[in-house]
Structure 1
Amino acid sequence: MDVTTSEETVFIQTSKLYYKKWSVENPRKTIVLLHDSLGCTVLWREWPEELAMALNCNVISYDRRGYGKSENYTIKRPIDYLEQEAVILNDLLQYWQVEQPVLFGFSDGASVATIYAGMYPQNTTLLIVEGVHVRIEKETLQGVREAEEMLHNTQIAKALQKYHGDKVYDLYYAWTKTWLSNAHQSWNIEHFIPRITVPILVIQGELDEFGSMNQVNAFDNASGVVQKCIVSGAKHTAHKEEKAFVFSTITQFVNTHIHEKMD
């Protein structure tokens, strides 16, 4: 199967955003990838092309405000900044003329995908979340503190400059300072979950350092079918640590539920 790629920047609301698309002939659906708190499109590596080929779907990944090849974003993040990102995602989908996508979000991207599926249930086909945050836990805060220590004690900033350029410190502190602030401790998006009517796949590493099983079990309140996948021995980045297993689980989930909808 041939996969063609294209990339573009588009001005949405107040920011110039970068995205890349992997296209196939006669796609069944479009899968939208939403990256984590330190990620971007490039860091999905081979996942977009392989998903496009395995599922005969178009795949789109974009860099959120301040990340990757998108414009820097230095405004202090409000408590509802991920909700704002869900609205931006809706604007992007309208620009792309994509209806009812399959959403696959990782970490912060999983939170954005969850919010979106709750805000716009009629415009979502399937929801896949990995390492999702729906509430603040002690594990979440400890994981963020350790990430902040890594910034000062390792070469991670230099490594990330390859992907984010001179925006690294801005995005790193925007993430850690926001989540560790007193104002952010009341953050919770669980109220979006009962509004989600589509099938959901929740993936979490058994040893995820950013959240407990409470994050996964919160999806028991969804209105749609929920499938849970706990990846043995994996930490937060299960799709990298146990790629073959996670990839197979995702493709089976999508094939099953798209087939059911087509029937």
Structure 2
Amino acid sequence: MKRRGVDIVADGKRLEACWVGPGPDEAPTLVFLHEGLGCVGLWKDFPERLAAATGCGALIYSRAGYGGSEPVDLPRPLTYMHHEAQVVLPQVLDIAGIRRAIMVGHSDGGSIALVHAGSVGDPRVAALVLMAPHVFNEDVCVAAIEQAREAYKQGELRAGLAKYHGDNVDVAFRGWNDAWLDPGFLEWNLESFLPAVQVPVLLIQGVQDQYGTAAQIEAIERQVSGPVQTLWPEPCGHAAYLDQPQVVIDATRQFLEDAAGSRPSASMGAAARGLW
């Protein structure tokens, strides 16, 4: 599948965005929401593989301050994920012409998907596929982010991220790192949004995730109102789509079949076009 560029300006910022597979008039759309250091390029070929396996289209975009999108001013407010979920994401869906969406969120992107589903009430959102989402801060997360800050100062991490973020590399890193290490972020909590999440949810967290514990998944599973499936791939760290991509793809395909109330079929493409 070849990526096709999409022109998106949301909340006054031009965003790097591309489309994979069938358009929104032909099939549901997998909307990819990247992590705190992610962008379009850092998803690698996972969107193409997941779109091919499910028959869905895919919209991949970099939030402002990441990848090839326009930069943002620093410091980011500690409510930056709320803003992305409640202001930016609805505009992205509108501009892209999304009709039925499956949110595929990783880390910060998973948290953004939860806030969106739990506060906006967008009827276009049919399901959530969340990898390592956070709904509160933890000591283990703070420790891992402090380690990332030291690695960035030493230069190797910055050089690696610069290949994907270009001139945005410092904005991307500091916007994420400074917010999460702000003392005020210790009180950050999204659990109040969970009861209003009524769509099916697939929760995926690597057993060796260095950024969060099982308490994150357990809190979401306990408090959302919709049906929940969980997946614990091993060996797997924070980025399940990189560490165990086929496991995630197979689980997502089955999850969407279950959510659609269909039996497993030889071709999920046909089933996906009839979802919801």
Shorter-chain TM-score range: over 0.9
Percent of aligned positions that are identical: 30
C-alpha distance in 2, partners of 1:205/1:235? 5
Per-residue displacement from partner, 1:133-173 (whole Å, max 9, x unpaired)? 11011011111101111102241111211111122122211
CA RMSD of aligned residues (A): 1.7
2:215 paired residue number: 214
1:118-144 superposed Cα distances (whole Å, 9 cap, x missing partner) = 123433100011011110110111111
Residues 9, 70 of structure 1: 8 Å contact kept? no
- Write out aligned runs for 1:220-235 (5 A): 220-235=222-237
Question: 1:240 matched to which residue of 2?
Answer: 242
Which is further off, 91-100 or 23-32?
Answer: 23-32
> Residue 55 of structure 1 contacts residue 255 of structure 1 at CA under 8 Å; is this kept in 2?
no
CA shift digits 1:7-37 (9 cap, x unpaired): 1342212211111001327733111001111
Q: Which moved more, 1:28-37 or 1:115-124?
A: 115-124
- 1:33 corresponds to which residue? 32
Q: For residues 174-210 of structure 1, what are the alpha-carbon distances to aligned partners after superposition, in whole Å with 9 as ceiling and x for unaligned?
A: 1111111112221111111110001100000111111
Q: Distance in 1 between matches of 2:275 and 2:7?
A: 33
CA–CA separation in structure 2 for the residues paired with 1:187 and 1:15: 26
Q: Could you give the per-residue CA deviations for residues 197-237 of structure 1, whole angstroms, max 9, x where no partner exists? A: 01100000111111111100111111000111111221101
Q: Which residue of 2 aligns with 1:113?
A: 113
Runs of 4+ in structure 1 over 3 Å off: 259-263
Tell me: higher relative CO, structure 1 or 2? Use CA pairs within 8 A at least 6 residues apart. Answer: 2
The answer as to 2:49 corresponding to 1:47 is: no
Q: Provide the aligned length of Structure 1 versus Structure 2.
A: 261
Distance 2:5 2:82 in 1: 25
The one-letter amino acid paired with 1:136 is N
Partner of 1:59: 58
1:259 Cα offset (Å): 4.1
Partner of 1:91: 91
Tell whether the 8 Å contact from 1:4 to 1:24 is kept in structure 2 after alignment.
no
**Number of the residue aligned with 1:13:** 11
Amino acid at match of 2:12: T
Aligned counterparts of 1:75 and 1:143: Cα–Cα separation in 2? 22
Question: In the alignment, what sits opposite 1:187?
Answer: 188
* Letter in structure 2 aligned against 1:254: L
Which range moves more in the overlay, 6-15 or 141-150? 6-15
Cα distance in structure 2, aligned partners of 1:24 and 1:181: 42
Instruction: Report how far residue 52 of structure 1 moved.
Output: 1.7
Secondary structure of 2:229's aligned partner: strand
Within-5 A mapping of 1:142-221: 142-219=143-220, 220-221=222-223
In the alignment, residue 47 of structure 1 is paired with which amino acid?
F
Moved more, 43-52 or 189-198: 43-52
CA distance in 2, matches of 1:224, 1:167: 37
Tell me if the contact between 2:74 and 2:171 (Cα under 8 Å) persists in the aligned partners. Answer: no
Q: How does 1:73-88 map to 2 (within 5 A)?
A: 73-86=72-85, 87-88=87-88
Instruction: Tell me if structure 2 keeps the 8 A contact 1:34–1:109.
Output: yes
Alignment deviations for residues 89-122 of structure 1 (CA, whole Å, 9 cap, x no partner): 1111011121330000001111111111112343
What is the TM-score when the length of structure 2 is the normalising length? 0.90
User: How far apart, in 2, do the equivalents of 1:28 and 1:256 lie?
Assistant: 17
In structure 2, distance between residues paired with 1:11 and 1:215: 33
In 2, the alpha carbon distance for the partners of 1:154 and 1:162 equals: 13
Return the alpha-carbon distance in structure 2 between the equivalents of residues 46 and 258 of structure 1. 25
Moved more, 68-77 or 116-125: 116-125
The residue type paired with residue 88 of structure 1 is: V
> Residue 163 of structure 2: SS of its match in structure 1?
helix
